Chains A and B, each alone.
Chain A
Amino acid sequence: MTSAAPVIAIDDLSTRLGGVWIHRHLNLEIAAGEMVALVGGSGSGKTTLLRQMIGLLTPTQGTIRLFGEPLFGGGVARERALRQRFGVLFQQGALFSALNVFDNIAFPLRELRCFDATTIRDLVMLKLEMVELLPQHALLLPAELSGGMVKRVALARSLALEPELLLLDEPTAGLDPDRSAGFVRLIRRLGDELGLTVLLVTHDVATLAALTTKVAVLAEQHILAYGMLDTVRQFDHPFVRKFFYPLS
């Protein structure tokens, strides 16, 4: 299990959408246990890259391997088993609006069809506790939640299947600085506790400093710089300078 294969390996990936190259010859490797932030300008293709990693989009060229395995092929069962090894937090939360908080978190567990109702209830309550929500929040509908709570419920749902890899798209977008810091701390704590590999897309420097072990800069259609925050900060490129030192 603890093989040497990187959790995410992107090899020479190119993407063409709407007649425009979004990525060209992009390479990225993330090892187990790392917390990597993917930063880049708006429209630089961060969400697109994330969607390719989780198999919602196929790259035009190049390959993506998760846990050393290709995303596609090998039958439905293998693909599903692979998908259960990662959790995704979508930019807008993507909670099922017709289901309450409890059923949203219980949904992936019920899909497994191997737990009884009591186990599912205990697991959901545990997940709620993990993301610092109260048991009485379980009966609320997504429309009745605040922005920060939506993110927490979505995080709980993405953790429901005990993933090894967590992918987050702009987890702090739309939250005030205070909530955003709290949510980042939560991700950091859960990541450490559960031994997760985390990849998050962000444009918030504060999040970066608090959360990540490594930073990958996506600009000019490929990964411009990848390394520890302090190293990347020194990288001499107009985008990097503007990103980290916007006022200078």
Chain B
Amino acid sequence: MLHAHYSETRGASGQIELLLTGRWTLRALAERGAADAAWQDRLRELGRRDAVNWNCLDIEALDSVGALLLWRCWGRKLPELLLMRPEHLHIFERIAAADGEPAAVVLPRSPFEGLIVLGAGVLAVIRQLRDFVALLGLLALDLLHLLRHPIDLPGREISANIYKSGVRAMPVTALVGLLIGIALSYLSSLQLRQFGADMFIVNLLGLSIIRELGPVLVAVLVAGRSGSAMTAQLGVMRVTEEIDALATMGVSSSLRLVLPKVVALAVVTPLLVLWATALALLGGMLAAELQLGIGIGYFLETLPKAVPVVNLWIGLVKGVVFGLAIALIACHFGLRVKPNTESLSANTTAAVVTAITVVIFIDAVFAVALRGVGVPKL
């Protein structure tokens, strides 16, 4: 395979005769590579001169990359003295046709750049909130519709979502709960023993796990596991126009896709909270038994006295609220996905991050609002 090549000879009248040979193709030129800058520079210099006779008849192969190289050497026009085969000349006709100003990509910079960016950000947030309220409104209408036509209740979808985000999440929530319980119990027992306050491990674990850790832990897991899946699913359905297809069949996408997810998470999250809390307490009990010698029997007997049962209710209510929030946020972002992969990934990320942030925010609100409830006074 012969690479692109040229040789100069000086003619009788002082003219430069330039003979081009070999393959002037993408592959041949790419192999020559940028390393051969001098080779191209000389060609460019020759291109600028007038008295050069370009003999291209012996070029073995020419594609648009090779042609473009020559075209640019010639200053975007054909040289006056040129010998070329017609099929090669045809490529240059194409290049000449395509040679125009490309569409402008650069936007003019404005002196108020910062203000514009800020304004766009604020408007985007407002738009997000408006869309979110619209989604809530749609769901409220769906609920009204269901009250009048209970037959339209998407039972299969709800049940499928309960299975997917509830039953399938049980192993991971159990494992995480158990490990957190063990870790917490070990660490606290070391401290408590120093003060001789061994017995308070029950109060400490019970209150923190049942009221605080259980719900938040489960919410974070559910947001990462089911929330992202919901956003991605709705997003892909938008990309593949499945949501539009549903709409043309007269099926409300909010009723069939969003509502089942919201209902399922509202049902499933408190149950997962209960499950994870139980396993965290089990882990804590085992660790307390090993570390402090506090028997499981004693632990179970003291727990109801140390932790008022209202804490369990608080935990469960938190579970419901967190589940609702996660599902609504996941669906909100899922429906915002534009038909491209970049938007899909951005919205999935946004859904998970927003859901976890909102969960922690709601948790703080709960903590402040219920500060006098369920905390035993000593």
- Our pick among B68, B102, B340, B343 for the contact of A135 (Cβ within 8 Å) is B102
Asked whether B338 is an interface residue with its Cβ less than 8 Å from the other chain, the reply is yes
Contact with B along A143-156 (1 / 0, CB 8 A): 10000000000000
Asked whether A175 is an interface residue with its Cβ less than 8 Å from the other chain, the reply is no
Q: Which residue of B lies closest to A137 (CB)?
A: B103
Chain A residues within an 8 Å CB radius of B105: 139
Chain A residues within an 8 Å CB radius of B30: 112, 114
Q: How far apart sit A142 and B239, CA to CA, in the bound complex (Å)?
A: 11
- Name A's B-contacting residues (CB within 8 A): 1, 81, 84-85, 96-98, 112, 114-115, 119, 121-123, 125-130, 135-136, 138-139, 141-143, 161-162, 193-194
Q: How far apart sit A186 and B276, CA to CA, in the bound complex (Å)?
A: 63
Asked whether B242 is an interface residue with its Cβ less than 8 Å from the other chain, the reply is no
Whether A138 contacts B98 in the complex (CB less than 8 A), given A114-B34, A119-B68, A162-B26, comes out as: no
Asked whether B90 is an interface residue with its Cβ less than 8 Å from the other chain, the reply is yes
Whether A162 contacts B102 in the complex (CB less than 8 A), given A98-B341, A123-B65, comes out as: no
- Our pick among B72, B97, B103 for the contact of A138 (Cβ within 8 Å) is B103
CB distance from A179 to the nearest CB of B (A): 20
Chain B residues within an 8 Å CB radius of A84: 27
Asked whether B311 is an interface residue with its Cβ less than 8 Å from the other chain, the reply is no
Chain A residues within an 8 Å CB radius of B342: 97-98
Whether A135 contacts B27 in the complex (CB less than 8 A), given A1-B1, A143-B338, comes out as: no
CB distance from A9 to the nearest CB of B (A): 21
Asked whether B14 is an interface residue with its Cβ less than 8 Å from the other chain, the reply is no
Chain B residues within an 8 Å CB radius of A122: 68, 72, 95, 98-99
CB distance from A167 to the nearest CB of B (A): 18
Q: How far apart sit A217 and B65, CA to CA, in the bound complex (Å)?
A: 36
Q: Which residue of B lies closest to A135 (CB)?
A: B103
Are B339 and A193 in contact, CB atoms less than 8 angstroms apart? no
- Our pick among B63, B68, B340 for the contact of A98 (Cβ within 8 Å) is B340
Q: How far apart sit A85 and B321, CA to CA, in the bound complex (Å)?
A: 58
| Chain B, range 233-253, C-beta contacts under 8 Å to A | 239
Are B103 and A162 in contact, CB atoms less than 8 angstroms apart? no
Are A193 and B65 in contact, CB atoms less than 8 angstroms apart? no
Chain A residues within an 8 Å CB radius of B99: 122, 125
- Our pick among B64, B87, B90, B338 for the contact of A162 (Cβ within 8 Å) is B64
Q: Which residue of B lies closest to A118 (CB)?
A: B72
Asked whether B33 is an interface residue with its Cβ less than 8 Å from the other chain, the reply is yes
- Our pick among A125, A162, A193 for the contact of B98 (Cβ within 8 Å) is A125
Asked whether B25 is an interface residue with its Cβ less than 8 Å from the other chain, the reply is yes
CB distance from B241 to the nearest CB of A (A): 10
Asked whether B150 is an interface residue with its Cβ less than 8 Å from the other chain, the reply is no
Q: Which residue of B lies closest to A119 (CB)?
A: B68
Chain B residues within an 8 Å CB radius of A127: 64
Q: How far apart sit A121 and B338, CA to CA, in the bound complex (Å)?
A: 27
CB distance from A154 to the nearest CB of B (A): 15
Are B27 and A162 in contact, CB atoms less than 8 angstroms apart? yes
Q: How far apart sit A239 and B33, CA to CA, in the bound complex (Å)?
A: 51
Q: How far apart sit A114 and B102, CA to CA, in the bound complex (Å)?
A: 21
Asked whether B109 is an interface residue with its Cβ less than 8 Å from the other chain, the reply is no
